[in-house]
Amino acid sequence: MVAGVCYGMVANNLPSRSDVVQMYRSKGITGMRLYSPDAQALSALRNSGISLMIDVGGTDQLAYLAASGSNASAWVRTNVQAYQGLTIKYIVAGNEVQGGDTQNIVPAIRNLNAALSAVGLGGIKVSTSVRFDVVANSYPPSAGVFAQSYMTDVARLLSSTGAPLLANVYPYFAYRDNPRDIQLNYATFRPGTTVRDDNNGLIYTSLFDAMVDAVYAALEKAGTPGLRVVISESGWPSASGFAATADNARAYNQGLIDHVGGGTPKRPGTLETYIFAMFNENFKLGDLVEKHFGLFNPDKSPAYPIRF
């Protein structure tokens, strides 16, 4: 059971926000990640019952929120308090932040936590969403450790507030970059490959589990062994790249949906997971595959068969 699907909007041909909300409800998708506090989307989501993960926006917004408590209070007023009838679960202070901008993550989270608490909304958890490469030495999974020290500060802050670490985990890119050593079936939840972690004896049948457990191993080494991980993005492209086919995308995403209810070898139990993404997005930059991560086409037809 997957917690939600990421609603990216980097396109000029998507359905209206209200149509998208209706799609989520009709498909039984109970959670949504929004990459900015889009006013039209938030209005359409009122009283929908859909649980929300809302990003603050880009690194400029992150810097603004890190700069002062009053900035964070203004942000909460405009983007949270202004919308009655929303079910906001997480606010994401930065998505895959890199370089010097990482220094803004901890102060932004602190300021947002204070702003939310001050208006009685302390139940909304504030975190940040990280790329998988914040983990070094990810093989075997038990060797996982954070590559940079700022992640230890982030982990300790989240541990103190009860918020989870949000991680974007993509076996697709790991497989694409190393198809010689990684089997396609292992990367797409198909049977046939088992990998043993000799440090702890755990057995892996999917690359996804191995990657997630490397994050857990890094959290242990950072002194936060109890910190929960939420998968804030995971998916597989269906066109325009190496191993990017509808068959592989369907195998991966259906496998993910069917798998995450059981957690990982290191951390059994439900693993809250958000699939990337709802739609193919024709204005995405970078590799051509970036335009083809959608479960659905802009005309609302499925990119391939999937059941939630």
Cβ pair 93, 139 in contact under 8 A: no
In the DSSP assignment, the letter for residue 132 is G
Distance CA 253, CA 248 (A): 9
Bridge partner list, 263: 268
Task: Write the single-letter amino acid at 90.
Answer: Y
Would you call 281 a catalytic residue per the annotation? no
Would you call 233 a catalytic residue per the annotation? yes
**b/e burial code for range 224-251 (CB count within 10 A of at least 16 → b):** beebbbbbbbbbbbbbebebbbbebbbb
Annotated catalytic residue within 220, 233, 281, 290: 233
Which burial class, exposed, middle or buried, applies to 108 when counting CB atoms under 10 A from its CB (0-12, 13-18, 19+)? buried
Q: Smallest Cα–Cα separation from 48: which of 34, 60, 58, 64?
A: 34
Q: Catalytic residue positions? A: 96, 233
